[in-house]
């Protein structure tokens, strides 16, 4: 074989190798592109699934908004300025519900042990204002597990109150609690040093002995707030209350069954019962102010992680009363 033929064969061999490498590179690029497309669709499907799982009622709410419906606002958990059940968010939800022209009635679904009398009073006042502004929209408070103290304060602003026969209802009272550590400090050999500008600035300091005048003044404050609470209940419930019962405003809570003859509730039933049989419209739209999607996802992920860690450590999460 001549040198020319040998060189030609080498060139053809190199060309074939180069062509094969290029073909494999193109094939690999196509394969990688297919995987990228697959993962894009996969991640999009996961995001869509998360949205659907976190917002299962939105499609139904969207349909029900277009027809006459029962508007729902939920009050869940302690009623405080820094919780989800705060006056600003609740009142915003009430505004949205009353402003909807398709709202036939408003249902407050309450499951709360109470909370701040300030927050409860602001919701009560706003609810009564909206009732006067929209006289055709009747308001129904429905108590589930608990509707006590500040939660009942709010419920009293509704046209009617319903509860389950086993719901805890009432607790029309006010409390102020704390601890005294005076003897503990003495036993530990710790000296309390409190400096004030203003003779009463150290009022109810837990590390100082309780003064009779401080206790009397605190009781005056509690009695004043209690009277405000009683006035709101009597303003809302009127002649339905059995005022002759000396325990009515004692701070006691009753079951829904016990609360009925006292005039604290108008009937017994669940939210579905009230919507279906009392209001006459079981199409419901929830106007409760909710967390954003990312915040809800983070909360759910945090809760799941917390439960997993607690489970692995042999701990159990419960409710502390």
Domain interval for residue 27: 8-54
Residues 72, 136: one domain? Answer: yes
Q: How far from 39 is each of 32, 45, 297, CA to CA, in Å?
A: 11, 10, 21
Residues 29, 69: one domain? Answer: no
pLDDT at 321: 32
Do the beta carbons of residue 99 and residue 287 sit within 8 Å?
no
How many Cβ atoms are within 10 Å of 102's Cβ, its own excluded? Answer: 13
Residues 119, 13: one domain? Answer: no
pLDDT at 320: 32
Strand segments, DSSP code E, in the chain are 69-76, 103-112, 138-148, 160-163, 168-170, 253-255, 267-268, 284-286
Residues 128, 167: one domain? Answer: yes
Residues 85, 104: one domain? Answer: yes
Q: Which pLDDT tens digits describe the chain residue by residue (321 residues)?
A: 555 556 566 666 776 777 777 777 777 787 778 878 887 888 888 887 766 655 555 555 655 776 899 999 999 999 999 999 999 999 999 999 999 999 999 999 999 999 999 999 999 999 999 999 999 999 999 999 999 999 999 999 999 999 999 999 999 999 888 778 777 877 888 877 888 888 888 888 888 888 889 889 989 999 999 999 999 999 999 999 998 899 999 999 999 999 999 999 999 999 999 999 999 999 999 999 876 555 555 545 554 544 444 444 343 333 333
Nearest to 156 by CA among 171, 167, 145, 166: 171
Q: Which residues of 152-191 are buried (b: 16+ CB within 10 A; e: fewer)?
A: bbbbbbbebbbbbeebbbbbbbbeeeeeeeeeeeeeeeee
Residues 19, 94: one domain? Answer: no
Let me know the angle formed at the C-alpha of 209 by 203 and 211, rounded to the nearest 5 degrees: 55
Nearest to 153 by CA among 133, 175, 171, 137: 171
Please, what is the angle between helix 117-133 and helix 212-237, to 10°? 20
Nearest to 166 by CA among 150, 152, 145, 140: 145
Residues 37, 107: one domain? Answer: no
pTM above 0.85, yes or no: no
Per 3-state DSSP, what percentage of the chain is helix, strand, and coil (rounded to 5)? 50, 15, 35
Nearest to 110 by CA among 125, 124, 100: 124
Nearest to 273 by CA among 111, 70, 62, 90: 70
Determine, yes or no, domain membership for 312. no
Look up the CATH number of the domain holding residue 272.
Answer: 3.90.226.10
Residues 78, 162: one domain? Answer: yes
């Amino acid at each position: 074989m001549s040198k020319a033929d040998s060189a030609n064969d080498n060139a053809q061999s190199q060309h074939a190798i180069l062509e094969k490498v290029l073909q494999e590179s193109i094939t690999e690029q196509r394969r990688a592109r297919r995987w990228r497309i697959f993962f894009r669709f996969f991640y999009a499907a996961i995001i869509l699934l998360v949205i659907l799982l976190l917002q299962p009622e939105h499609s139904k709410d969207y349909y029900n908004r277009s027809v006459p419906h029962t508007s729902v606002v939920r009050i869940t958990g302690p009623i405080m300025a820094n919780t989800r059940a705060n006056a600003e968010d609740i009142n915003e939800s009430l505004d949205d519900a009353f402003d909807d022209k398709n709202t036939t009635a408003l249902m407050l679904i309450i499951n709360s042990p109470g909370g701040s009398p300030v927050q409860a009073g602001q919701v009560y006042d706003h609810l009564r204002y909206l009732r006067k502004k929209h006289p055709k929209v009747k308001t129904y408070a429905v108590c589930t597990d608990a509707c006590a103290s500040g939660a009942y304060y709010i419920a009293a602003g509704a046209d009617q109150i319903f509860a389950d026969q086993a719901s805890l209802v009432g607790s029309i009272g006010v409390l102020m609690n704390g601890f005294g550590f005076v003897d503990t400090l003495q036993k530990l050999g710790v000296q309390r040093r409190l400096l004030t500008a203003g003779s009463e600035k150290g009022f109810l300091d837990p590390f100082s002995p309780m003064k009779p005048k401080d206790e009397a003044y605190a009781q005056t404050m509690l009695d004043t707030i209690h009277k405000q609470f009683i006035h709101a209940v009597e303003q809302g419930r009127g002649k339905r209350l059995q005022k002759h019962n000396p325990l009515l405003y004692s701070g006691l809570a009753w079951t829904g069954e016990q609360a009925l003859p006292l005039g604290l509730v108008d009937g017994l039933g669940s939210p579905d019962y009230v919507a279906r049989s009392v209001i006459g419209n079981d199409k419901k739209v929830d106007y409760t102010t909710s967390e954003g999607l990312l915040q809800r996802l983070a909360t759910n992920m945090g809760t799941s992680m917390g439960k997993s860690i607690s489970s692995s450590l042999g701990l159990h999460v419960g409710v502390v009363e």
